[in-house]
Structure 1
Amino acid sequence: MPPSTTTEFERIVRSITRAGTRLPTGSALAPLRAASFYTAIALPFVYLPLIATGLSVENAPLVAALVAANVVTLVLGHGYGAD
């Protein structure tokens, strides 16, 4: 994709992904990476009750926070088990 068509969102995603892959492996951060990996797996199950009861405007901040937390845990846990 040429740089002129790269959106700001894509640049942010690439930046976050690079930051997550730069975490040292085999260090004191290994438990953080493992916890992030499994949290990223579990968080979508928290969405299910919200979706089942119907998404409303009052739940919007909660949904946004859950999605943001899921993105952060996906990035931090990305390299878990790759060793």
Structure 2
Amino acid sequence: MELPNQDLGALFDQLGLSSRPEDIDVFFATHALAQDVKLIDAPFWTPAQAAFLKEEMRDDAEWAPIVDQLNARLHEQ
């Protein structure tokens, strides 16, 4: 199944975060992960957000490619 709007903005909406481009920029400017910290273990996720991200990655589900992008961006620093 393919999502009609597979992008970070749509993923932020799914996570209950603001998907405005400027808010996404602020999110990445204020959140980063060390290379040894898994995306799902980040301290800034709520339990529901972490569970969603974990499930999508584990099941290689429809959001998995966008979650991969999120993971890469958070580990860039």
* Structure with greater helix percent: 1
Greater relative contact order (CA < 8 Å, ≥ 6 in sequence): 1
TM-score (norm 2): 0.29
TM-score (norm 1): 0.28
Tell me which structure has the larger Cα radius of gyration. Answer: 1
